[in-house]
Amino acid sequence: MSGPLPESSPVEHVGRKARRRAAAIEAVRSSGNGSGSRFGWLWSLLAVLGIAAAFVTYLALGGYVRSTVLGFACYLSGCSAAGMTTTGWLIVAAPAAVMLVTALFWRKLGRAGRIGLGSTAAVVYLVVITFIPGRRRDLSDLIQGPGSDAVADGILWGLGGAGAALLFMLVLVFVAKAVPAVERRYNTVALAGAVVLVVAALPVAIAKSDPTWVRAGDVFPAELTMNGDRLVRASVGETSGCDGVLPDDALLNERLCYLTVHASYTTDDSDATATLRAVLYADDEAADEVRAGLPRGITPVGVTGEVRTVLSTTYSWVLIGTAGHTDGHAIATDERPWVLWPLRQVSYHFIGVQGGLFIDPDPDDEIRPRTP
């Protein structure tokens, strides 16, 4: 028969209780460290995948991403100077805005909000890195297509605004050392000033940007003088897309079309009227593909009277030209050369605007003026 258990002293009882609490705390800490180690590999994997995605996006998908961004901007803005310049500015401002939003709201967001913000940031930065020039490629090599010069201007002005913002914050550091009030509110003043400088660069960029030379008012002047002839614009206009140009819209919509510009001119050489419709596409290849599918002799919508139709391409444009007598009467066989003459002049002017080289057509060719 066992004897009575020895009674423990109050000090020993408290000691055992303290040891049990310390062991429990240590177990919790060990569990936390284990959880961290379990998820640490996941964060490392995500970092590796992020770097790989950036590399693939830049090398393999960079051209596609850039053309998609520029094409979408051109489609939405009609390739206007303001729209394309704003696109370039956003390429600089968007990642800065994402960085700012992350710094301000990351701790306040829940799990779903952080996932959404993180995903948005990843997409923005993956798109933006495709516009970063490499060792053998400058900005003009990366940005090509309608409105590309305006986009490049927007990027440069955006970088200028960002540089001014960084300089402002640097100067503010020295000001804060001398002015206690500025030092107390440095974050607020620095943030507000930086945002104002970056945003202020946009209207300046738009004002300084050159025309994109795709809008009807830019490419079709009120009067042309070519080969000694005076051509006067009778009508001018533009529409988004290319619906309503030909009887079958599917012909021009074979590839995505951004814009259609058109103008009619009369000439003092004869009673002929020339109308040129030009449809803008993303690149030369798309324009050539669409032109190849157009049937010969097709007449555009809205044409009255007898006309001759001429189909061609220049750069990323499909040109649909018509020429006829102003009153619409029949065109005799011997009249064809001089009826088509003002259309050739208008077409040469349009091509000169797109290529930056203006020349007059040869009046001694088959298509020639009525009065030499």
Output the six-digit token pair for 41: 């590999």
The answer on 254 and 201 residing in a single domain is no
Indicate whether 263 belongs to any domain: yes
The answer on 179 and 250 residing in a single domain is no
| pLDDT tens for each residue of 191-219 | 999 999 999 999 999 999 988 999 999 99
Q: Which helix (H) or strand (E) holds 38?
A: helix 10-59
Which residues span the domain enclosing 119? Answer: 61-131+139-208
Listed as own residue / partner, the contacts of 16-23 with beta carbons closer than 8 Å and 24 or more positions apart are none
| pLDDT tens for each residue of 357-367 | 999 999 999 99
* Pairwise CA distance, residues 24 & 284, whole Å: 73
The average confidence (pLDDT) of the chain is: 87
The answer on 230 and 192 residing in a single domain is no
The answer on 263 and 171 residing in a single domain is no
| pLDDT tens for each residue of 112-143 | 888 888 889 888 988 898 898 877 778 888 89
Assign 3-state DSSP to the chain and report helix, strand, coil percentages, each to 5: 60, 15, 30
- Strand arrangement, sheet containing 317-325: 223-226, 229-240, 257-267, 272-281, 317-325, 308-314
Of 147, 177, 208, the domain-final residue = 208
* Pairwise CA distance, residues 280 & 260, whole Å: 6
* Pairwise CA distance, residues 113 & 79, whole Å: 35
Half-sphere exposure of 346 (CA within 13 A, CB side): 34
* Pairwise CA distance, residues 101 & 117, whole Å: 9
pLDDT at 123: 87
Indicate whether 146 belongs to any domain: yes
Indicate whether 317 belongs to any domain: yes
Indicate whether 256 belongs to any domain: yes
Indicate whether 320 belongs to any domain: yes
- Which DSSP letter does residue 77 get? H
The answer on 345 and 264 residing in a single domain is yes
The answer on 326 and 194 residing in a single domain is no
The answer on 82 and 201 residing in a single domain is yes
Of 149, 184, 208, the domain-final residue = 208
Single out the residue of 180, 145, 152 nearest to residue 67, CA to CA: 145
User: DSSP H helical segments within 60-110, as ranges?
Assistant: 62-77, 81-105
Look at residue 37 and tell me whether its pLDDT is greater than 70: no
| pLDDT tens for each residue of 256-278 | 999 999 999 999 999 999 999 99
- Which DSSP letter does residue 147 get? T
Phi, psi angles (nearest 5°) of residue 231:
-110, 130
pLDDT at 28: 47
Indicate whether 86 belongs to any domain: yes
Parallel, antiparallel, or unpaired for β 308-314 and 223-226? unpaired
Domain count along the chain: 2
How wide is the angle at C-alpha 98 spanned by C-alphas 97 and 99, nearest 5°?
90
The answer on 92 and 202 residing in a single domain is yes
Indicate whether 68 belongs to any domain: yes
Indicate whether 41 belongs to any domain: no
User: DSSP H helical segments within 179-302, as ranges?
Assistant: 180-184, 186-208, 216-219, 249-252, 284-292
Q: Which of 53-57, 173-177, 270-274 has the highest mean pLDDT?
A: 270-274
The answer on 223 and 165 residing in a single domain is no
The answer on 339 and 261 residing in a single domain is yes
Output the six-digit token pair for 283: 């690149």
Of 184, 208, 232, the domain-final residue = 208
Are 245 and 254 spatial neighbours (Cβ–Cβ below 8 Å)? no
Average pLDDT over residues 45-49: 61
What Cα–Cα distance (Å) separates residue 219 from each residue in 75, 233, 243? 18, 12, 21
Taken in order 343, 263, 234, 325, the sign of the CA dihedral is positive
Single out the residue of 275, 364, 361 nearest to residue 325, CA to CA: 275
Single out the residue of 72, 73, 95, 91 nearest to residue 82, CA to CA: 73
The answer on 92 and 110 residing in a single domain is yes
The pTM assigned to this predicted structure is: 0.78
The answer on 231 and 204 residing in a single domain is no
